[in-house]
Amino acid sequence: MPSTVLRPGKSPIALRVRFDDASGFDLTEAGTQKRLAAYVVNRVADVPGIASLGPDPLADDFTEEVFAGILAAHRMQVKGLLRDQSIIAGVGNAYSDEVLHVAKLSPFALAATLDPDQVTRLYTALRETLAQAVATASGKPAKELKDAKRAGMRVHGRTGEVCPECGDVVREVSFADSSLQYCATCQTGGKPLADRRTSKFLK
């Protein structure tokens, strides 16, 4: 059972769950936008957020053709598409950075304009990166998951560190409540992306 002292409003711990066998866990929430919710339901599908999820990118029927159709239907930046749980489930901010780095694509490339080679690279990177993340997390207790996830990151959360692929520095673009990390050499032809807080994005 977690023993950290709860300090409402001053701790990232949003909810402490305790079971009748004395086990339990803490749910934490970072960032300025508070969106965490907890539900007690009879069926997982009764949770609104789960009912609205997009397809599972690791499912057998999530083929490259299905993925290409999703990309073609959305004129939005590929980073935003990968983060949108209603379009594709389970990727999120951190793994979208990782997937785009492996695929060697700019976070701000438009999804609908990717050519067939880029679609193939992105599809392969998506499936392989998530499969590796699942394998890494498998069997680990909840308290070790965050550290295991962080240790496996190539660029996300590694601003200023060396890109493991090319040796360039990992850069960051900050938003109001989040940030993304990328390698200019690997992903944007060597051109740094402008920070949205001070200027427009460079494509």
Is 61 in the same domain as 122? yes
pLDDT digit string (tens) for 30-84? Answer: 766 777 788 889 998 888 888 889 999 999 999 999 999 999 999 999 999 999 9
Other Cβ atoms within 10 Å of 94 Cβ, number: 19
Do 17 and 109 lie in one domain? The reply is no
Q: What is the pLDDT of residue 203?
A: 44
Residue 201's pLDDT is 45
Q: What is the pLDDT of residue 13?
A: 75
Domain at 142, CATH number: 1.10.8.50
| Distance from C-alpha of 202 to C-alpha of 183, rounded to nearest angstrom | 14
Q: What is the mean pLDDT of each run of 10 residues along the chain (203 residues)?
A: 63 79 81 75 87 95 98 97 96 96 98 98 98 90 82 94 97 88 97 70 45
| Range 52-55, long-range pairs (CB < 8 A, 24+ positions) | 52/85, 52/86, 53/85, 53/86, 53/89, 53/90, 54/84, 54/85, 54/86, 54/87, 54/88, 54/89, 55/88, 55/89
Please give the pLDDT value at position 75: 93
Residue 196 lies in a domain: no
| Virtual torsion, Cα 201, 196, 185, 75, nearest 10 deg | -50
pTM of the model as a whole? 0.78
Range of the domain at 15: 1-38
- Residue 74: inside a domain: yes
* 92-103 and 116-137 helices, crossing angle to 10°: 130
Q: Note whether residue 79 is domain-resident.
A: yes
Do 34 and 44 sit in the same domain of this protein? no
Task: Note whether 84 and 170 are same-domain residues.
Answer: yes
Residues 139 and 153 in one domain: yes
Q: Do 123 and 89 belong together in one domain?
A: yes
Look-up: residue for tokens 């009748």?
A: 20
Q: Which pLDDT score, from 0 to 100, does residue 95 have?
A: 97
Residues 80 and 12 in one domain: no
